[in-house]
Every structure is written in C-alpha cells, then in structure tokens.
Structure 1
C-alpha cells in the first residue's frame, strides 16, 4: 500500500510510519517538524529561505510546489484539520484538493481541533478557558466560526475519523465515519529500556509545553511541596521546548515523569515514558481503560488537584522499592498496548475496511 502521512505531533506519525514500513508498505511522511521538537520527516513543509521570502515560501509557494508529491496515494492521513496557512482559504482549498486526488483519506484526531473543543465542554476534564489564557490563547483559533465550519466539513469529506484517545472519540461521536480508537504507537526497538534504579535521589520530571493545557500550575506546586518535604530524597526537574531526541535523553535519567492533569487519557509523552520504564503520572481514568479494552494500567491517574498529586508523589517517595517494579510493568505495558507494528496493522485494517 502506498501511504502519505501529512503532519506530525510529537512523532506520533513518525512512529506509525516506522511500523508501516516494517509491515512492507511504502510510506511518505510530510510535516513541518512540529516546531522546536525538530521531528524527522521525508518531505519538509519548512522553507530553507530566510526572512519574508522564507515565510511566504513556507506558507504559500512550497506547498504548491509539493502537490505532485502529495497525490496519487492509496491512503492519505491528515493529523488535524489545519496544516497550511488559513489566509485566502488556502488551507481548506489545498486539503480539499488532496482529499480528491488520493484514493482514501482519513482524519487522525490527535491534538486540538474545533470539534473536540466544542464538545469537550461537556466532559469532566478538559483544558478550560483559564488554561487557554495561561497558554496565551485568548484569541483561540478553534473557536472561530470559520474554523468550526471547516473542521466539520473536512470530517464529513474524509473516509474515516480515527481518534487516539477516549476524549477525542467522544468529541466526534456524531459523525457516522468515526472509527475505533487506536492507541498511540511507539517504536519499541528505538527506545532502550533500563531498570528504573534510584541513585542518589528520586528524580521527578515535568516537561514544559503548553502549561495551561497540561495543568502545570498544579504539577509544579505539588513538585515544590514534595521537594520541600523530602529535600534529601527528591530532585525535581522542570524543563521544556527542547528537541524530541534531547528530551528522550533527558528523561532517560529520571525516575518519575509527570505528564498532564487535564485528561481522561494520557498522551504521546507518557507513552515514551512508559516505554523507557518510568513511573508515569498522567490521565488514566476508567473511561480510558474501557476505551482500550483493558482492566488496569501502570499509568498513575492524577487530577488538576495539588493535594492529590502530592499524595501520589509522597506514596512513591515513602516506598521507593515500588519504583523499579512499576517501571518494569510500564515497559511491558508499552510493548503490549503501544507496539508500533501492532498499531500500524490496526491502521491498515481500518483503512482497508473504510
């Protein structure tokens, strides 16, 4: 099968591509590199030119020049509804053209979109108005009527909608072309597992990226309380906006990863942490387990609640012998639920059945 993966967040489609290639498919990954994460791709949407010329090239000229390389595939999968400039209806026109000039098209729901933001308000957990303000998103793009109309139109144009977690499935339940949730893939072969051994101190890490969306204010406060309570036992690290490869090297040295609070489910960073054998704190509500058809998970569920996060961390600090045990279970869990080849086959089956 000849497949085009268009766009990428946190190397989700990169890991999917690697699984598809292992299965014998011909795959092309096209993306902007997800900003400072500097993700790998086969074709970059970025321009090599600088200044105003580079900006115009990236927004308008380069995508047009690439069109011959973006058509004629058996499957094209878009990661979200916004991949090009919105000026002059450019994004809508180009995506519509690509849908028409490839055999099958799919919308991968991973990250924000208008449909999710509109429907997530009915859920117990969602990154609310306060979170958006923290992230400087006061003029939030997904709430604009034009984007809501386009997102809805695109969702009806594609052959299928594929969510990666429970929340995104719920947000798109009104669409008849919604398919089963497929877990996040991770290339286990590229992630070296080491036993989660505590050296001098227990190292607790939180990655800075969209602090409002992730509930960083709760996480940071909880980390500070634990550090103050156990200064001889705990080291805290808060760092962000670094390339993915550097990020993975950094968290390799840690024991506990705190990802995010505003969610029923966990995201890509949490899956990397699990594969590395780290104790992972993130969203993992019963709805998440049910969606993946599993009874339990080593992911420790946390809430946007400082006291609750402190309680979880304190339990781990007072019982450090549990950290290597949870770490080992985390790796096994990643291998069984998130293996890139197994997940790639789920995508192939979904595409074939659409």
Structure 2
C-alpha cells in the first residue's frame, strides 16, 4: 500500500514508517520538526516567521489588537503549499485532530482536501485532543495531566493550550474530524479509555518501537546507581516532574554515596538519548496510566522506568508476574520509597531491566505493531 503519515511529535510515526517499510509498503511522513526534538520527516512543513525578537512582538501585538493570529494563518499556508504532494495514497493517518494548528475552518478545509485526494483517512489518538481532555476534565481518570489544574486553578495560564481544547471551536473540529474519518486508533490506555464507546473507534495499536535499532544494554549494579531525569520545561507541571524533583532530593540526601543523579532540560532527541544511555533508572512522567513513547524506548534499552503503569494497563496486557515498569504516583514519598527499594535491592533493577525488554519485544515490536495498524486499516477498507 501507499501510506501517508501526517504529523510527528514523539518518533511514533517514524518507527511506524520503519515497520511498514519492512513489510513492503511505500510510506511518506509529512510534518513539522517538532520544537527542540527535531524528529526527521520526508516532507517538511516548516514555519518561517520567527518566534522571538521584534517580529514576534509585532505579531503578538497584532493579535491583542485585532485577534488575527498571523502564526495560525502561516501554519495553514505552509500546509496548503504541500497539498500537491499529499495525494494518491491508499491510507492517510493523521496524528491529531488539528493537523496544521490553525483556525478551525482552515483545519476542516485541509482535512477535506486530504480526504478527497486519497482513498481513506484515519485518526491516531496519541496526544492532546478534545475527547481525551474532556474525559480528564470531567474527572473520569483517577488522575491525569489536568490534575494539577483541577487542584489549583491559578495554574490556568500553564494549562492554556490544553484548556483551549475544551472551547466550542475545538469541539466542533473534533466532532467533524471524528465523524468523517474512516476510523480512530488509540496508541495507549490514556487515549483508549476515553474512546471506548466511540462509534468510529477501532481499538488500541501499541506504540511501535524499533527493536532492531534500539539495542538492549545490560546494566552493572556494582557501582553507583545512576538516576536520570530528563525535563521538558513546557510539560514540567503537566507531567508531574515536581514529584520526581522532590523525591530525588530525599534520595540524594539519604544515599549520597550510592547514587548519581543526572538532570537535563529541553535536549534535542539525539542528545537526550546520549545523556541517559548509562543510567539504571529513568524518571519519565507521573500523570499517566500507560507508557508514552519516551518511556517505551528507555524500557527497550533495559532501563527501569518510573512512568504510567496502572491497573488498566496491567489488565490489558495480562501482566501478573514480572514487574516491567514502576507506576509513578503523584506523591514524592511514594516515588522516593520505590527508588530506595531499588537502591537497596539492586538485583531487582536487573530483573526489571530484563523484563522490560521482553515486554517491548512481545507487545511493542515495530513490525508486529505495524501489522496491527494494517489489520485495522484494511478491516475498515
């Protein structure tokens, strides 16, 4: 098949592309190189207007006075300039309801052109969208990325982007896209649960991890235990990084001679990987039921990852024996207690490291995951 993957924010679509190509399909990836992460794409849709300096100040002032969002208009233009290349595909999969990050009417027009010029179009639910945000806002999760805001509405400014997804235009866009795609696929439990009763929902296809590229790295626990905390500043509050920071202060004070702590901020993807390659334990995120892409890649390398590993995830994968990832709860004492257990029982680090790799190979191998996507697409077609 000829397949177009639209959007890339976590390397998910890159790994899916690699798996699909291994299976003999012709795959093109189009999108922005997201912020500091800079994941590769085949067709780059790149902004040219600066996001800082005098030009940025003028654009921001224009928006305050006229409510005309020049950046949103530019986003739409950059996508429309690429449309002649985005036709003739058997399957188009969009990464988000908002393809171009522009005005609702322009988003709908862009979606309609993609739908008209290709045989089918699917939505991958793997990020912030109306359905998952509304599910979190109405407190259907025990905790979620919205928990800090729901506890303290003074954080409204930090959650502005997420809360915008609840506005009428975002709901209108969501309703239009979800009603007009051929089907919706979720990448993990945090998106699967909100979609369970949706008429277009096809099911969960696990995040594909390229286990050929990512090598397992056996750990040595005879020296200091290295704990890595890589921070994305823009998601610090939403991912619960504050609990990791507080827990690390407890551990650093209690075990100064037994641990080495590495903390980084906003590293490009390739640098980020280099910084955590020698760690034993990686602190990923708190407010999640399942592992995101970053956690899964670390688990494939054999790291002990503190992330989402809730009951719903255990039940979905029928996990009852091996400890595969550490469920990080929004409580620094709970996190510190689990870190302390690992420091005092380094053999557990080795056991979890090995079990994490086996889990990735069984459930997230990029070729097996790609086959699940193909099965979902072709079942509808």
What TM bracket, shorter-length normalisation?
over 0.9
Give 1:15's aligned residue.
15
How far the C-alpha of 1:148 sits from its partner, in A, is 1.4
Report whether the alignment pairs 1:261 with 2:286. yes
Give 2:26's aligned residue.
26
For residues 329 and 9 of structure 1, do their structure 2 counterparts lie closer, same or farther at Cα, with a shift above 3 Å needed?
same
Per-residue displacement from partner, 1:333-352 (whole Å, max 9, x unpaired)?
Answer: 21111110010000000000
How far the C-alpha of 1:100 sits from its partner, in A, is 2.6
Give 1:309's aligned residue.
335
Q: TM-score under structure 1 normalisation?
A: 0.94
2:187 pairs with one of 164, 174, 182: 164
1:342 pairs with one of 368, 373, 378: 368
SS at 1:73 equivalent? coil
Give 2:89's aligned residue.
73
SS at 2:29 equivalent? strand
Q: Does structure 2 retain, via aligned residues, the 8 Å contact 1:38–1:243?
A: yes
For residues 85 and 286 of structure 1, do their structure 2 counterparts lie closer, same or farther at Cα, with a shift above 3 Å needed?
closer
For residues 280 and 88 of structure 1, do their structure 2 counterparts lie closer, same or farther at Cα, with a shift above 3 Å needed?
closer
Give 1:322's aligned residue.
348
Give 2:310's aligned residue.
285
Unaligned stretches of 5+ in structure 2? 57-69
Cα root mean square deviation, aligned:
2.2
Q: TM-score under structure 2 normalisation?
A: 0.87
| Cα separation, 2, equivalents of 1:213 and 1:239 | 17
| Cα separation, 2, equivalents of 1:88 and 1:127 | 24
For residues 129 and 318 of structure 1, do their structure 2 counterparts lie closer, same or farther at Cα, with a shift above 3 Å needed?
closer
| Cα separation, 1, equivalents of 2:130 and 2:319 | 29
Give 2:76's aligned residue.
60
Question: Which stretch shifts more, 129-138 or 337-346?
Answer: 129-138
Give 1:125's aligned residue.
143
| Cα separation, 2, equivalents of 1:135 and 1:103 | 41
Report whether the alignment pairs 1:300 with 2:326. yes
For residues 126 and 57 of structure 1, do their structure 2 counterparts lie closer, same or farther at Cα, with a shift above 3 Å needed?
closer
SS at 1:204 equivalent? strand
How far the C-alpha of 1:129 sits from its partner, in A, is 5.4
How far the C-alpha of 1:99 sits from its partner, in A, is 2.0
For residues 56 and 310 of structure 1, do their structure 2 counterparts lie closer, same or farther at Cα, with a shift above 3 Å needed?
closer
SS at 1:271 equivalent? helix
Unaligned stretches of 5+ in structure 1? none
Give 1:198's aligned residue.
221
SS at 1:248 equivalent? helix
Q: Does structure 2 retain, via aligned residues, the 8 Å contact 1:277–1:328?
A: yes
Per-residue displacement from partner, 1:210-248 (whole Å, max 9, x unpaired)?
Answer: 012211111110111011110001122221311111111
How far the C-alpha of 1:325 sits from its partner, in A, is 2.5
Give 1:272's aligned residue.
297
State the aligned residue count. 354
